[in-house]
Structure 1
Amino acid sequence: MIWPTRRLKYLSRTIDRRAGSDQPPLLAVSIHKGVIPRESLTDDLPRAEDLSNYKICEPGDIILNRMRAFQGAIGVSPIRGLVSPDYLVLQPSPHVNAQYLHHLFRSSWFIGEMASRLRGIGGTDNGAVRTPRINPEDLGNIEIPTPSLDEQRWIANFLDVETIYIDRLAAIRDRQLHLLNDRSTAFISEVLPTSGDCQFIRLGYLATIQSGITVDGSRTLSDDAVTRPYIRVANVQAGRLELNSITEISVSEKMAAASTLRFGDVLMTEGGDLDKLGRGTVWRDEIPECLHQNHIFAVRPGASLDSDYLALLTRSIYARNYFESTGTKTTNLASTSSGKIRDFRIPLVSLATQKRIVKETSRTLDRIDSLTNLLIKQKQLLTERRQALITGAVTGQIDVTTAGRGSEGLA
């Protein structure tokens, strides 16, 4: 279907009314949940003591987090509330359905339009933009499909039904992943000698920690510069590597040599979700001559410590308690440091015993990891399906009046 298009600025207007002494609930925009009360997102989000300069939004207003809108931080406000002064508050005109705009804004097509208009330093393809923002003028100039109001309502209702259904399936997969993680943690904790009579030795005495490369686009390259693949935090997941997207970096030979990964290095990220902090993943030369970012620690065990034993230990309740208690919590994330990793005490048994423990646990853990990877893949497919439905519906590639469950749910 081909629909007429209009610039967004003719279908909505920017609202900039400050709170003053008016103090309705404080709201936040979540990438996954849309506009929600701030207190339901996390108790740790920093907030200003004086909210008088915050913006007022009304039910039905569309709220955009200017710094994260291109990642999906957009939503329709269900209640009257306060939002950050840096957010955009849009009031849809009578000629457009607010929920239709909400879905359109979260489509891959519109996100691409916003990403191409971001003001900042760097590019969105690898997350290198610093202080990215979408300006109201740039946003208003985007030409959007404008079917009739009846068609907009059909599209919005169809997508409401479909996305709720997909989100319920995703929530079930999340619960299953959580149960599998609990099962593996409990199993590992039962077999490891974390409460026995063995010596507990500081990791800093058993391994070295290699720092990575700081990405700096302004760095002057020397004549001996080399270009190498390098992994970022996004490539190191809890207990596994995600190597589908690898970038390259040019640095001097000396810097490359100091940050090249070796077979058997145990990779730990500096920051992330609190429950995954300190989780180690063994590097097995998946990519030759690969470098690593400075936010990834490469722990290189010495002769008395087995890499797989160390990685296994980081999945235990013992390790989880250590890293969660020593982690620095900021917003809804946490971080650790090379010093805290060095201070982690290792229950040291003989190298032969370490290898035996790894071998004896591998069969059970392989089954759990296989199920985990299957559930992760299913979640990825659900995410892709959700995005494809939204984009197809708001761009006219899907006729929602003849589509499946969405139309049936409206009958």
Structure 2
Amino acid sequence: MTPRASWPRQRLGRVARTVGGSGFPPEYQGSSEGDLPFAKVSDIRRKGNEFGITTAANYISRTQARLLGARIVPAGSVVFPKVGAALLGNARALTLRDCLIDNNMMGVVPRAGDPRYWLYLLSVIDLAELSPSGPLPYVSESQIRDIRVSLPPLEEQRRIAKFLDMQCAKIDRILKVRRQQLNLLGERETSRVFAAISGMNEQGERKFSGLGWLGVVPREWAILSVSSQFEVLLGKMLNQERTRGDHLRPYLRNINVQWDQINTDDLLEMDFPPHERSRYEVQAGDLLICEGGQPGRSAIWDGRIEEIYYQKALHRARSRGRSSVRWLFYCLRAATALDVFAVEGNTTTIGHLTGEQLRAHRFPFPDRNVQDRLVGELDAAAVAARHAQVAIKKQFELLTERRQALITAAVTGKIDVATAGEVDV
């Protein structure tokens, strides 16, 4: 190995050039054939691009590229997001063929060296640290060209790239298994919830529920509308005037409500005069249901804040006494997993679950003691599954950190790849 101290450290702009992305007008988009793939940020993770950019959702001809004034990114370049939230993810991809990139991306074209070494070298640079402070993160071509990089001799670059290819592949295989385990836990939860709300394991005769997605249920179970069991009301409409006033109070938004949890770290305030409070106040035990985003996503408010309200993007379901909000939560969980609301919507309502739709929607509602028993079983299984998910996610984080640390050590010469051999992961 060439000693690390002898690796020349220089401006990236001396050993590579940058290529900015091009505007991609809608009228040029939509073609799956052409001379050049026109890559967007989403194409970095596109199926078929696991080892580098070879395909994209959109293609154009070289003639169209000239008309657009688009700069071709040659094979062997490293491309990445240069603006917005995607920049913070620090995704990198090697181009395996000539392509174009849109104006949310940038490319680095090495003048010399091993392309895969360059991919690893650039992957250890945190672009968020280069971004100016402000609401929209971004980096410029001049900032990238000013980065100082260390380049060992070509043969050393190839050894490092080969070593990292082997070691990262091993880690990636383990990460893939962990992803599959997480997916399996999610699938098992969906199966458990569906079995419970359909009474699959209950004894006795069965009947058709009248709901195609649900199938048969125990004969004695009632199929009732949500409105017959719960008061369902939409939250307060937000406008600029209501962000000011003498009665500002915190309120919950769609983004605060995730599956079975409510995040209160970033609450906003709106004016709720005294005469509106009973209408829009959220009480402990109320079920909050998302109207849009992921229609049906819901969680029960636990009362951690004494006085809180909710916005129009949410429905509030409050039990009329017979049925459990926790049972309704699981009914919504199953229906959402099966895309029931999207399938049953029309072209004007897909993407939103209106109050009228939610109130009219029918679910199985057995006697309360049956609801409580099945909810108790589902909750216990959910706790065990959550513990397993936490453990797997922790392993995932540690493996991801290990992968990045290994790349950093190799491209900075902190480990001798010629003698490192197999690395324990």
Gap change, CA 1:369 and 1:222, over 3 Å in 2: same
Match of 2:285 among 229, 240, 264: 264
What is the SS of the residue equivalent to 1:316?
helix
CA shift for structure 1 position 104: 4.0
CA shift for structure 1 position 248: 4.9
What is the SS of the residue equivalent to 1:208?
strand
What is the SS of the residue equivalent to 2:76?
coil
Whole-angstrom CA distance in 1 between matches of 2:11 and 2:311: 41
Give the unaligned 5+ runs of structure 2: 199-213
Match of 2:107 among 73, 89, 95: 89
1:110 aligns to what? 126
The CA deviation string for residues 66-122 of structure 1, in whole angstroms up to 9 with x for no partner, is 33233223311122334335432331122x543344234433x523224x237xxx5
Give the unaligned 5+ runs of structure 1: 40-44, 124-128
2:168 aligns to what? 163
Letter of the aligned partner of 1:310 in structure 2?
L
Whole-angstrom CA distance in 1 between matches of 2:104 and 2:92: 13
Whole-angstrom CA distance in 1 between matches of 2:138 and 2:82: 5
| Bigger mean CA offset, 181-190 vs 248-257 | 248-257
What is the SS of the residue equivalent to 1:148?
coil
Which of the pair has the greater relative contact order for Cα pairs under 8 Å at 6+ separation? 1
2:203 aligns to what? none
CA shift for structure 1 position 146: 1.6
Match of 1:56 among 72, 76, 81: 72
Report matched runs for 1:284-295 at 5 Å: 284-285=302-303
**Contact kept in structure 1, 2:9 and 2:149, CA below 8 Å:** yes
Report matched runs for 1:238-277 at 5 Å: 239-241=259-261, 246-249=265-268, 251-252=270-271, 262-268=283-289, 270-271=292-293
Report matched runs for 1:344-363 at 5 Å: 344-363=361-380
Gap change, CA 1:345 and 1:232, over 3 Å in 2: closer
RMSD between superposed Cα atoms in Å: 4.6
Gap change, CA 1:252 and 1:144, over 3 Å in 2: farther
Whole-angstrom CA distance in 2 between matches of 1:403 and 1:263: 62
What is the SS of the residue equivalent to 2:422?
helix
**Contact kept in structure 2, 1:24 and 1:81, CA below 8 Å:** yes
Whole-angstrom CA distance in 2 between matches of 1:251 and 1:34: 49
Whole-angstrom CA distance in 1 between matches of 2:324 and 2:189: 20
1:369 aligns to what? 386
**Contact kept in structure 2, 1:64 and 1:74, CA below 8 Å:** yes
CA shift for structure 1 position 290: 6.4
1:42 aligns to what? none
Larger radius of gyration: 2
Identity %: 23
1:385 aligns to what? 402
Gap change, CA 1:191 and 1:232, over 3 Å in 2: closer
Whole-angstrom CA distance in 2 between matches of 1:326 and 1:392: 54
Are 1:24 and 2:36 an aligned pair?
yes
Whole-angstrom CA distance in 2 between matches of 1:74 and 1:138: 17
Whole-angstrom CA distance in 2 between matches of 1:308 and 1:134: 47
Q: TM-score, normalised to structure 2's length?
A: 0.68
**Contact kept in structure 2, 1:208 and 1:301, CA below 8 Å:** yes
What is the SS of the residue equivalent to 1:247?
coil
What is the SS of the residue equivalent to 2:96?
coil
